[in-house]
A = this chain, B = another copy of it.
Amino acid sequence: MRTSLDCLPCFVGQALDVTRLVGAGEGLRERILRDVLQAASGMDYTRPPPVMGKYIHRLVRELVDEPDPYAGLKQRFNDMALRVRPQLEERVRQAANPFEAAVRLAITGNLIDFGTASRVDEEEVLQAVDRALDTPLQGDAAFLEQAVARADSILYLFDNAGEIVFDRLLLDLLPLERVVGAVKPSPIINDATMEDARSSGITEMIPVVETGSDAPGAVLQDCGEEFLERFQGADLILAKGQGNYEALSHTDKDAFFLLKAKCSVVAEDLGCPQGTMMLTRSQGRGEGAK
């Protein structure tokens, strides 16, 4: 997906949010904002939005000398999700269609995203969990289930810390011997890194690799060789979140995207109302889940 002009105010807003979060002084904030505006002015808009997300957050980490501004938030949401995990598992077990229930809960976990929201409310996430099985899901989980059954190798692109615990519910229903996960190689917003994969127990379930890029979404031109080999070699990609959708919506691989369409630009690209719980298949493929 290319960057929309409507992404531009949001880039500036993201820079404001993160400089506020790290408590940068006014002079430093101004310097960062001027730099981001300049970069946004010269950006290649045919590239996807995570390219700018990477630029902004790297700039802030470097200038503020704070390598992981969202560390505390990541820990908090990992803890929260681990706390509610037994209830989530129970919901899946008791659901009429456990696979679809797991898909819904994995998508619900995608609410824990500090890239699209400057604040995420724990209470709001828990309420969304309560509604997850009754909220309309756009896309048919049965298509994904069939694709999973056919695939010899599955690459699961994780998105955020906290959310990664919700993904365990879906992993529990996948043929784990054929699944490899991928996380970010270093901190970017609240995206999950190897540390989160470990603390959430994911690394005990499946092998986990790093994308090799600190963009908040797997922008392939940026990714490392090991990841690209896994990506190209996989029969099926499961990609969580807006960033991965933005980066990969036009891939010719067979990819399913599981996300909440949180911003208006992504919702418009998907042709759905903002806030939709979305399961959609890559546009390069014939048989769509959508």
By a beta-carbon cutoff of 8 Å, the part of chain A in contact with chain B is: 5-6, 8-10, 12-13, 16, 29-30, 33-35, 37-38, 40-42, 45
Contact = CB atoms under 8 A, between A and B. Distances in A.
A30 B45 contact: yes
B37 A40 contact: yes
The 9 A-B residue pairs with the shortest CB-CB distance, nearest first, are A37-B41, A9-B9, A38-B41, A9-B12, A9-B13, A34-B41, A37-B37, A8-B12, A37-B40
Nearest to A19: B5
A105 to B, nearest CB: 33
A42 B37 CA distance: 9
Contacts of A34: 41-42
Contacts of A38: 37-38, 41
Contacts of A8: 12, 16, 33, 37
Nearest to A8: B12
Contacts of A35: 41
A47 to B, nearest CB: 14
How many copies of this chain does the complex contain? Answer: 2
Interface centre among A5, A35, A38 (most CB of B within 10 A): A5
Contacts of A33: 5, 8
Nearest to A36: B41
Contacts of A9: 9-10, 12-13, 16
A16 B6 contact: yes
A278 to B, nearest CB: 25
A112 to B, nearest CB: 23
Contacts of A12: 8-9, 12
26 contacts: A5-B16, A5-B29, A5-B30, A5-B33, A6-B16, A8-B12, A8-B16, A8-B33, A8-B37, A9-B9, A9-B10, A9-B12, A9-B13, A9-B16, A12-B12, A30-B45, A34-B41, A34-B42, A35-B41, A37-B37, A37-B38, A37-B40, A37-B41, A38-B38, A38-B41, A41-B41
Given A8-B33, A37-B41, 6 more contacts: A5-B29, A8-B16, A8-B37, A34-B42, A37-B40, A38-B38
Contacts of A30: 5, 45
A198 to B, nearest CB: 37
A42 B40 CA distance: 13
Contacts of A41: 34-35, 37-38, 41
Nearest to A33: B5
A34 B8 CA distance: 10
A29 B8 CA distance: 12
